[in-house]
Structure 1
């Protein structure tokens, strides 16, 4: 869409008055809805919706541990069936293509629930699986699940020796070379792979096999030779070394269990840790196991559509964004929703050490995590957003917490000046090439969206060393794509990255006329949809043809507007975007958004944050109506 596509009175007017008047009404309705979603404890948490692998693997976990109930199975199966597409497949995101591994796991869960392979929906799923190469072509993690139930040979999986836990942090392939979410998954998986358990299912999955040999996860070259060597070692490990490794791994797992029973507050390490401990002699009634299983209930959503699992929960992130949105909308800092939300955030500060200290041993703790109970893994992204929210709300004790967070955040800068989410300098590319790393991001390098959020926070609350901010801004400018956009690691995708970068550069004092800013503005204007909104499909992570293209969504339209407004734009593109938000708003004040716009692993795992459709439009409308200088920041 070009800037001159909407001109004249139609660009300024909306049904029932001018566009600003319509935007004001939409903003008030949205704020009312957001305030109404607040928990009595002061926090917000929208559902974090992913795909049915969470539900399938939950049933497989319960089957493995012998705790699967008929009610849980029936409710989860109802949800899984409701997500099946007309072609018999399951996708990883709304509107996306069928995914082989997700379909295989969903199919297996439905077999557990009693669905017969001769039923039409099962026949369609099995046919798709065979066309896609069957179990033999599934990702390694899917085949690990199937191996645990005798549906795949452990010998045909990449080697995963428990002795990895014994490697010191300076040694390549040590567990701290993995991103935090990956290391918490790999350590328990090494325990599982060492035990090579097989718990028979009451059925066989022959209808999902093609009989062709599997080549997935079989590297060539040096890594292929290393894998073959480790496979031979796995057949005859050194007994004393293996016992020491398993003992260390189990201790490592137990000490990292969070207060809510989770591991890292995310599903993959949680389920694998429970299985690893169970194989190591922990009965299901052991306190650690009881805490872990009970904690899963907190991540369970039940409604008329069935029972589904959240892969993670985002109360700190959601609450920080909600507080900022309400302040941007013009609510005073003393409003109960704002003040109580900020007070809750203040109480969630992380004051203890975590795995991040392996690379930054002298850095004092501070900052915030993503979840309710994830004290071992604060992250710079959440910390930046909480700092931006708390600095605008006068609370006793907030200033020392903000200062601690700024010091910690600045200390997490990577050598090149950028910022990653959880660790500093977690960039060893060798990890990516290992044969069992065929799904999901496994390292945590600096990214444009995280660096931008940190820049925005440090520009508002300058660090003791000004060079940290200067180097981060320089990193961000270097990271701009040739087309003028920025890549989005944790949100979809270039719209998200650009939506983070432009406000950060503005906060850091980069003028609106800077060539980098003008290129970004031009990119956003070129990628505006004809309806006035913005959208970007998750396929853009793998197919460049989708970059900046997709159905208009409330969250992505808001990101684009926030970026354009930060760049000083009051253009017809901005007015068209605001008009889209006004027109698309539901009568209850929120927006429909079935599309996934959050990212777990680029190219592999996606998230629909149910609060994104509300908090970001509020911020966009608030900043449109109340530009900086009128109380918005």
Structure 2
């Protein structure tokens, strides 16, 4: 056995050998399983912050660190030491063919590759260096920089590399449109609002990057940018083409907009995003929105030493991860989500093995989470639900305008499982808020209700197809996890749960799986729903559950694990499949099967065996793959905590269910 793994299969020490041996695979001894759980638990506890929370790195593709370098040159605020470290990081993530992918192991993406190329050139790399030469060849072979997506072309326009007609028309006057108009900022997702409002100012005034070295990327174009006429060739649908005509008409008419109207719209946009700057956590608590807001502050002449501007920059810099001679920038941080999931994991660990250190860690985590609940703070969700009282949790350390439905369900459920009366008020407020955020179709979005104006994904700006926050199965599964459990004693949630279950049944794929919007992918979605079904008390012989069980079992790999690639977001025929098993997907599949009552199944047993044999000497597991989308098909993430707490959760749940089964009275004749 590889020396980096702990000795989990000591045959001479195995218990239950006759009872659980399956197809020649040695069973797991209680002591060996306990040792694996204890080792992982100790390591997880050691990573808890003194304040009670956990926060793991949240890594995106190379677009974000490249944009950090671009931001420094846009503003002429260049930290050469930091730039060198980010450039070193970028060089190390190139595909062998010269491209840069959206997730590790994925195919090259032209927009990501263009941004990295430009960032490295700004950082001083020569275009004949191996990195830039191969990247440039790859870009040109795929049509050149004119084929970049909308966000990349806006960046190129700001750096004066393409004309502004290469970018969509985003006039700041959108702030003055009435709510009944086909487009209104309240009709798009929270992340779209926070990005678009400051961006509309930059685009309306055609703000130019300072670019002190006057570095360009003309070599990446096959046709000179001023002569290119096919910047929007990706628009194919009749509705999209009609909207594109309106976009072009609007650009022609822009010069007739009175200065007074533009000033009024600009003031409204500034008031909107300045009210939501969110202190040290930044606008929307997401990188792109923060950068846009910071660049607008610079354009408006806010001095560098202004306290508000300094805080806005500090919020961006808080996203940096610096390790020795490398650095990268996160898109946001995930402490509420990480802490909620870590708490659920440790509650499972401690269910039948009370440990004072684990209990103390759980108390500290829940106490910290209780203090982060949003109550009377204003939020954009109140536009859709003006009479609804607050009670949610954000995803990040602070994001008061945008509580997260998913995080709220997880945190409140952890508090519910703690069975501590001091959290009764937190749970009640959270449950009431979640119930009120239900969409008309019975499902739940992540931040908004009824955010389903799908025609808006046809506008030129929305070539990423992620302008909206519609209901999804994974978030809905978490909501019935909480409300279904509460509905036993709180009948007012009965209708909400019933409607959500109907939505989930309608969302089940023909093969039995569910789509995973916020985690990769169908294994994640199926776990989310089955866990919710179990908490809501759905009988395990329900046809919907049994169909999902068959799908999960069919997707188990020969090594006993499960794996799923982000390719499934692009090609549904490979859903639930990957070249390699991961600890994350194996854990989710085991947890899903255990929720469905499959404790004694061969698939669960071999899945547990896989986790035990791949546990590392430090008690954790290591998956190199990206495990979640920010936007399916366009933006992917790696939650660095997922290969740490999910496998531990699965092992603890298996041990506890196995123990419970052994404690059942034997059947009598």
User: TM-score band (shorter)?
Assistant: over 0.9
Give me the whole-angstrom Cα distance separating, in 1, the residues matched to 2:116 and 2:484: 46
CA contact (8 A) 2:345 2:649 kept: yes
2:233 counterpart of 1:209: no
* Contact map agreement 1:14 1:22 (CA 8 A) in 2: no
1:628, distance to aligned residue in structure 2 (A)? 9.7
State whether structure 2 residue 331 is matched by structure 1 residue 315: no
Structure-1 residue corresponding to 2:586 = 557
The corresponding residue for 2:433 is: 408
Alignment-derived partner of residue 28 in structure 1: 38
**Equivalent residue in structure 2 for 1:583, among 613, 626, 640:** 613
Secondary structure of 1:46's match? coil
The residue aligned with 1:238 is: 258
Q: Structure 2: which 5+ runs fail to align?
A: 1-17, 662-669
Look up the match of 2:447: 422
Whole-angstrom distance in 1 between the partners of 2:355 and 2:285: 30
- Report deviation, 1:390: 1.0
Given candidates 533, 537, 540, the residue that maps to 1:512 is: 540
Please say which of residues 520-529 and 546-555 is displaced more in the overlay: 546-555
Query: Contact 2:337–2:395 at 8 Å: present in 1 too?
Result: yes
Q: Partner of 2:6 in structure 1?
A: none
In 2, the alpha carbon distance for the partners of 1:447 and 1:194 equals 34
User: Partner of 2:638: helix, strand, or coil?
Assistant: strand
CA contact (8 A) 2:474 2:515 kept: yes
**2:400 aligned with 1:339:** no
Alpha-carbon distance, 1:200 to partner: 5.5
Q: Could you tell me whether the CA contact under 8 Å between 2:291 and 2:316 is conserved in 1? A: no
Quick one: distance in 2 between partners of 1:365 and 1:217? 44
User: Which residue of the partner structure matches residue 521 of structure 1?
Assistant: 549
How much does 1:287 deviate? 2.2
**2:400 counterpart residue number:** 375
Aligned length: 624
Question: SS of 2:418's equivalent?
Answer: coil
C-alpha displacement of 1:221: 3.7
Q: Which moved more, 1:199-208 or 1:17-26?
A: 17-26
How far apart in 1 are the matches of 2:275 and 2:249? 31
Aligned to 1:623: 653
TM-score, normalized by length of structure 2?
0.90
Structure 1 residues 20 and 332: alpha-carbon distance in aligned structure 2, compared to 1, 3 A threshold:
closer
**Correspondent of 1:11 among 22, 27, 49:** 22
Distance 1:416 1:547 in 2: 25
* C-alpha distance after superposition, 1:184-230 (max 9, x if no partner): 11111111101102235422212211115433367454212211211
Any conservation in 2 of the 1:495–1:524 contact (CA below 8 Å)? yes
Quickly say closer, same or farther: Cα 1:20–1:543, change in 2 above 3 A.
farther
Distance 2:249 2:256 in 1: 11
Gaps (5+ residues) in structure 1? 1-6
2:92 is matched with which residue?
82
Tell me the distance in 2 between the aligned counterparts of 1:328 and 1:217.
52
The secondary structure found in structure 2 opposite 1:599 is strand
The ranges of structure 1 where at least 4 consecutive aligned residues each deviate by more than 6 angstroms after the TM superposition are: 12-15
Structure 1 CA distance for aligned equivalents of residues 152 and 539 of structure 2: 49
Cα pair distance change 1:131/1:10, threshold 3 Å: farther
User: Which residue is 2:559 aligned to?
Assistant: 531
Partner of 1:125: 135
Over 3 Å counting, the alpha-carbon distance change for 1:217 and 1:365 in structure 2 is: farther
Quick check: 1:555–1:617 contact (8 Å CA) kept in 2? yes
Partner of 2:287: 267
- The CA distance in 1 between the partners of 2:449 and 2:93, in whole Å, is 38
Instruction: Provide the rounded CA distance (Å) in 2 between the counterparts of 1:445 and 1:18.
Output: 43
Aligned: 1:143 with 2:153: yes
Q: Shift of residue 622 of structure 1?
A: 1.2
Check conservation: 1:327, 1:333, Cα contact below 8 A: no
Report the secondary structure of 2:461's partner residue: coil
- The Cα RMSD (Å) is 1.9
Separation (CA, whole Å) in 2 of partners of 1:115 and 1:230: 40
The CA deviation at 1:264 is 1.2
Tell me the secondary structure at the aligned position of residue 301 of structure 1.
strand
Could you say which residue in structure 1 is the equivalent of 2:347?
A: 327
Residue 297 of structure 1 and its aligned partner are, at CA, apart by 2.4
- Structure 1 pair 30–13 and aligned structure 2 pair: CA distance change class (3 A): farther
User: Contact conserved, 1:139 with 1:216, CA < 8 A, in 2?
Assistant: no
Q: 1:228 aligns with which of 240, 248, 254?
A: 248
Displacement, 1:9?
6.2
Distance 1:416 1:572 in 2: 38
